[in-house]
Structure formats: C-alpha cells, structure tokens
Amino acid sequence: MSRHVLVLSGPNLAALGSREPEIYGTLTLAELESQVLAEAAALGLEATCRQTDDEAELIGWLHEAAAAGWDVVLNPAAFTHYSYAVGDACAHLAGMGSRLVEVHLSNPASREAFRHTSVVARSATGTIAGFGAGSYLLALRALASLTG
C-alpha cells in the first residue's frame, strides 16, 4: 500500500501564475499540482492536493491528516508568520506521528522581516524554501526517502 501525502497550499496561492510573478513565477497552481501528482506517482506515494484561503478549513485538513496518519506537505503561505492556530494544528499533527514538511516557493528568509518568523517550523520534520514548485517536489522526495 502506498503512503498517503496531503499537499496543502494556503491563502492566495490559487492566484499563482498572476500573483507577483517576479517572486512566485508564472506556473499556475493547477500546473504545480499536476507536477506534484506526477512526482508523487513516480516516488510511489499517493498524493492529494488541496488549497484554501480559509484558516479554519486548513486546520480541519491538518486534523484530518493527523487522525488518518497521513504525512503532510504544507505551504502555509502568510499563515506561516502569524497563525498560532495553524501552528498548534501542526504541533498536533506531529504529535500524532505524521511527518510535516513546510514548503515555500520563495525564500522567506531573504524577504521582509515579518516573513522571517514561522510558527509552523517547530513542528516540521524539515523546511524547503526558495525553489519554486521544486520546493514541493523536493519535499515529496524527502518524505519518500524516510523509512517507516
């Protein structure tokens, strides 16, 4: 049975393609997600992609993954920097034994000061940032490389 990975994208990421292309590139979310699904299949993982602008919906999905024992690739977008509720849901997910990889298209550490804080990072197995869609693909490879 292949491992299930939930690939979650937070607020404003549905606008990829037209949103600040000099920072986030020109790939649409649909194109990014089709790369994610292809990479997951090649790695023998079963991935599901979802995006929301809604904090409560994102928290619900993190709890769903925690209950089901799924690993999660999460781009929390702006929630990264201030949502203690998303951070706590990530802590719960990790506490339940799921792996969490935090991803960002850009490298928040090289941008404005408010982006230098992540309230999610403490619960992540690891963080991959700065490689565009490649951050998501590298996260899948990292998960696939972990045993157990």
Residues catalogued as catalytic: 24, 104
CB burial string 49-66: b at 16+ within 10 A, e below: bebbbebeebbebbeebb
Burial of 31 (0-12, 13-18, 19+ CB in 10 A): middle
Strand 3-9 versus strand 71-75 pairing type? parallel
Does 104 contact ligand DQA by CB under 6 A? yes
| Choice between 31 and 46, CB closer to ligand DQA | 31
**CA 135/CA 147 separation, integer angstroms:** 20
| Choice between 105 and 143, CB closer to ligand DQA | 105
Given 75, 98, 118, 127, the residue binding ligand DQA (CB under 6 A): 75
Specify the stretch interacting with ligand DQA by CB under 6 A; choose among 35-43, 77-85, 93-101, 140-148: 77-85
Subset of 110-139 contacting ligand DQA (CB under 6 A): 115
Site size toward ligand DQA (CB under 6 A) is 10
Q: Shortest Cβ distance from residue 31 to ligand DQA (Å)?
A: 15
> Which tokens go with 121?
């990072």
Given 12, 35, 48, 125, the residue binding ligand DQA (CB under 6 A): 12
Specify the stretch interacting with ligand DQA by CB under 6 A; choose among 30-38, 43-51, 57-65, 74-82: 74-82
**CA 22/CA 8 separation, integer angstroms:** 23
Under 8 Å between Cβ of 79 and 58 = yes
Q: Which residues in this chain contact ligand DQA in the complex, by CB under 6 A?
A: 12, 75, 77-78, 80, 104-106, 108, 115
